[in-house]
Amino acid sequence: MQVINKEAHEAFDNNLHPGSWNISINARLGEEAVSGEVLADIAQDRDDVIVLTADLMFSNRMSDFAKVHPNKFFNFGISEQNMVAAAAGLATTGKKPYVASFASFLALLCCEQIRTSVAYPKLPVRILAHHAGMTMGFYGTSHHALEDLSILRSMADMTIICPSDRTQIRAALESTVDYDGPIYFRLGRGREPLVYEDGIPEFKVGKAIKVREGNDMTIITNGLTLAASVDAADQLKEEGISVQVLDMHTIKPFDEDAVKQAVKETGRIMTVEEHSVIGGIGSCVAEILADNGLTCKFGRHGVYDEYALIGPPKDLYKHYQLDAKGVANKVKEFFK
C-alpha cells in the first residue's frame, strides 16, 4: 500500500526547471483520466472495491483514488504479472479489484495471468488498460498496444469496453461494478477530447450508440478514434457526403444488430481504429458480415500489419491518417 506524500512531491517538482516534465505537469495534462476519481466515488459506499497499480499512480491518476481511500489502494511496483495474479486471488475473497497499468504491459506481459487466473475462473477483475494504441508515442514499440483487442477478445468470458472520453469512462465504470466476470477497459492517456459534452444515453454493455446520422455510409469506431471520426463526418457533411457514425464502445459482446442495421441503412461500412486492422473492430465487423451472409461495400482503416513508428502521438495519428483529416480522406478514397 502507498500513501501519497504531497509535500515530498511538491518539493521534487519545485527542484525542477519550470519548463521541464514533472509529476505535476503530467497530472495536469492527464486531467481527462478520471478513472481514479470515479472509482473513489464508487468506493465510498462499497468495501469490496479496491485498486491495484504497478508504479503508475500518477500516469493513470489512481492517485486520485489513493488520496481518498489509502487503505484500499495497493502499489505493486514494477511487478505487473504479480499484480494481476494477486488481483485474481483477492477476487476470490469477495473483492472487486481494479487493476491499472499500461495496456501494452497488461495485454502482452500479463496475457497468461489474465487468461488463466482471471478469465478462466470468470473472476470479477476489472483491467484498466490505459495508454492504449499509440498514445505512448515516443516510448516505442514496447509501450504501444496495437494488438490488445486481438488478444483479449479471443479469451472466453472476457468483456471488452473502449470508452472514448471522461463522460463515457464514468458511465462505463459506474454501470459495470456488478457486471459478471472480468472486464477489460481500453483507455487513452487522459487527454482525449470530449465527444459526449452533454452526457450520453444510458450506457449499456454490448449496445452501440449512434453519434451521427447519415445515409451514404457508416463509420464504426470507438474509444481513441471516435472524436476524429465524428469531426471527419462533420467535415464531409459540408462536402455533400452523409456519414453515419456508430460508437461501438463494447468490443465483446459486439452489437451485431447495429451492424446489420447499418448495412440496411447505408450499404457501406468502414471501420476506424487505433489498433491493427487484424483482430480489432474491422475483424469483428467482417466476421458478422460473413457469418450472416450480408453484402455491402466494406473497408478497414487502422494500422496495417506493421509496428507503429516512434514519435509524438499527434504526429503518429497524422501519419497513419487517424486524425479527422486523415479519416475524411480515407472516406473519400473509399467512395472512389
48 and 95 Cβ atoms separated by less than 8 Å? yes
- SS3 at position 245: strand
Query: Could you tell me which of 175, 173, 156, 159 has the C-alpha nearest to residue 35?
Result: 173
Respond yes or no on whether the N-terminal peptide bond of residue 253 is cis (omega within 30° of 0): yes
DSSP 286-327: HHHHHHTT---EEEEEEE-SSPPP-S-HHHHHHHTT-SHHHH
DSSP single-letter state for residue 139: G
- SS3 at position 239: coil
Q: Which residues lie closer than 8 Å to 87 by C-beta, 6 or more apart?
A: 52, 97, 99, 118, 125
CA–CA gap between residue 307 and residue 166 (Å, rounded): 28
CA–CA gap between residue 107 and residue 81 (Å, rounded): 11
DSSP single-letter state for residue 192: P
The set of catalytic residues is 80
CA–CA gap between residue 14 and residue 58 (Å, rounded): 17
